[in-house]
Amino acid sequence: MDTTRRQMLTGLGAAAAGHALLNDAVAADKSPSSQVGDLCTTLKITKMKATWVNPNVFLRIETNHGIVGWGDLKGVDPRVSKPLAESLFELIDGENPTRIEYLWQKIFRAHRNMRGGALMMHTLAAIDMALWDITGKLWGVPVYRLLGGPVRDRIRVYHTPQARKVPASPVNHAETPATLEKIVANIAAARKLVGPSGAVMFDAHSAIPPAALIQLASMLKPYDLLFIEEPAVPGNIEVFKRLKEQINIPLAAGERDRGIYEMLPYLLHRCLDVLQPDCCHTGGITSMKKIATLAEAFHVPLAPHCTASNLGISASIQVAASIPFLLIHEFYPDNKGFNPGSIMRIDWKVDAEGYASLPTGPGLGIDVDETALETESKKPQTYKWPGQKLKDGSIADY
């Protein structure tokens, strides 16, 4: 038996040697495993360009293998966010862009006094998108394939003929019948437009103080709305708890909350029925996916906020395609000026039933017209601080 075992081992050794010789005979440029391994290990970030086109800043991150990734930086003053992005580049210069979580943490934890702030998180979001775009292009697949694959075939979106959101204007702390009845009439008009099988959302926009919102909600039937968005100004969880106790319509918020840390209190205190992270605000694809998983543990779906360019929209859609609990996704075809000159084209469509198809192109699935982008950037770029006032001249939340 010892002889037989010795012969067998000798035979296996010979076979292994034969395979080694065969592998050596295969040229490196014809071996898929060699190509992927080399490309992944030697891929490095080499350059970043930040282009300001009102009201966004678009990031273009280059690599030494010619793969380029794009990110959408919006929702903050571009006069500040553009140089911040250029400054943060020193943290990722020369790094492997596929180490996305590592680079996210490197930026997020880089400065203990700036961690989690709006400017940092919005800028980090744009960088994060670009890294996912590069990685998807590296493997030749949409980003959602790297997030676990699609869990749905299409994504319900609004605004469409089947789904409408009614906006709000700032009101006083308690309101008159005339003011409230006007809002109710707007909601009723939207319901008539979409029909009984459609969706109507009311965006309180943090502009209706708690007492007035409770007054308004009492004038509506529980099923009139899919949800009330931004019922209060973020920052005091007790206000959200009070509203949840008084209002029997689903409440949604999250567009101004960033990362898992700011979303967690809503879930722990059970005061929101829907979370609305904005991919461009909350730290990008990496952070939004974590928020979705956290919300899933509490059986809370996402209805992502998204007033971005086509680039930011596609980044958000990638996450929406990959998460189990999704209610609806915000989408505006023209996006109110966030897509100047149609410089960024998407490869997905919204069907007659109000559902967006899944992106099919690699990475974020965005085609950027760089000539048009450069042309738009040369136009006068201005930024003015927004703000709202009440009828008496006092400053209002909005």
Q: Is the CB of residue 155 less than 8 Å from the CB of residue 320?
A: yes
**Residue 127 has which token pair?**
């960088």
Rounded Cα gap, residues 268 and 258, in angstroms: 16
Rg (CA), the chain: 25
Secondary structure letter of residue 359 according to DSSP: P
**Residue 301 has which token pair?**
């779906």
pLDDT along the chain (398 residues), means of 10: 48 46 49 56 94 94 97 96 98 96 97 92 98 97 98 96 94 90 96 96 96 96 94 96 97 97 97 98 98 98 94 96 98 64 82 95 94 92 89 91
Longest Cα separation, the chain? 101
Rounded Cα gap, residues 191 and 127, in angstroms: 39
Q: Is the CB of residue 220 less than 8 Å from the CB of residue 195?
A: no
Number of neighbouring beta carbons within 10 Å of residue 214: 17
Topology match between the domains 41-143 and 146-366: no
The two counts, helices (H) then strands (E), for the chain are: 13, 15
Strand order in the sheet with 329-330: 329-330, 154-158, 355-357
CA 104 to chain centre: 15
| Class of CATH domain 146-366 | alpha beta
- Which pLDDT does position 129 carry in this prediction? 98
Give tens-digit pLDDT for 319-334: 999 999 999 999 887 6
Single-letter code of the amino acid located at 324: P
Whole-angstrom CA distances from 138 to 36, 142, 149, 318, 327 are 9, 10, 16, 16, 31
Domain ranges of the chain: 41-143, 146-366
- Which pLDDT does position 25 carry in this prediction? 44
- Which pLDDT does position 222 carry in this prediction? 85
Kindly tell me the burial class for residue 228, based on how many C-beta atoms sit within 10 Å of its own C-beta (0-12, 13-18, 19 or more): buried
User: 296: closest CA among 315, 278, 317, 277?
Assistant: 277
Superfamily of domain 41-143: Enolase-like, N-terminal domain (3.30.390.10)
Q: Is the CB of residue 121 less than 8 Å from the CB of residue 281?
A: yes
Whole-angstrom CA distances from 106 to 49, 89, 99, 136, 348 are 20, 11, 10, 21, 33
- Torsional class of 152: left (φ above 0), alpha (ψ -120 to 50), beta (otherwise): beta
Secondary structure letter of residue 61 according to DSSP: E
User: 62: closest CA among 101, 102, 103, 93?
Assistant: 93
- Which pLDDT does position 174 carry in this prediction? 86
Q: Is the CB of residue 317 less than 8 Å from the CB of residue 356?
A: yes
φ/ψ (deg, to 5) at 82: -65, -55
**Residue 389 has which token pair?**
């006032």
**Residue 362 has which token pair?**
């690699």
- Which pLDDT does position 41 carry in this prediction? 78
User: 58: closest CA among 70, 45, 76, 46?
Assistant: 70
Q: What residue has token string 């979001």?
A: 125
Strand boundaries in 267-394, DSSP class E: 274-275, 329-330, 344-346, 355-357, 366-368, 388-389
Whole-angstrom CA distances from 374 to 47, 140, 340, 343 are 17, 27, 11, 9
Number of neighbouring beta carbons within 10 Å of residue 251: 22
Tell me the whole-structure pTM to 2 decimals.
0.88
Q: What share of the chain is helix, strand, coil (3-state, %, to 5)?
A: 45, 15, 40
- Which pLDDT does position 10 carry in this prediction? 47
Across the strands, what pairs with 155? 356
- Which pLDDT does position 15 carry in this prediction? 46
Q: What residue has token string 């009311």?
A: 202
3-state secondary structure of 47: strand
Rounded Cα gap, residues 396 and 54, in angstroms: 25
